[in-house]
Structure 1
């Protein structure tokens, strides 16, 4: 199954974080965050993240802050 993908600058994503989260959660979009038109990171729906970990045989490890 293909995932819808959008691109957004990091600065725009920071200014509109609530919208970014809503698009990812409700529309199940993947949003590629860019800086100077170069991909930097991807925000993905949690279900996709879980499936990717399972497919890789990995488990999430909490990061100490």
Structure 2
């Protein structure tokens, strides 16, 4: 599915997948990096619709938040 232009305009653009994944890790949320077919940069999303389910360790664009040390 093609990214809508209005969605692309309001999202942060990252030059590389690595840069996007660093931002995802820093957010503390489970986010996925994807290449945008509009701006040819990378964006972050939390959506999983249409994605094949794989073990978390096998998904290259997925970042899991660090476990909390408080009990």
- The answer to whether TM tops 0.5 is no
TM-score, normalised to structure 1's length?
0.31
Which structure shows the higher helix fraction?
1
Structure with the bigger RCO (C-alpha within 8 Å, sep 6+) is 2
Which structure shows the higher strand fraction?
1
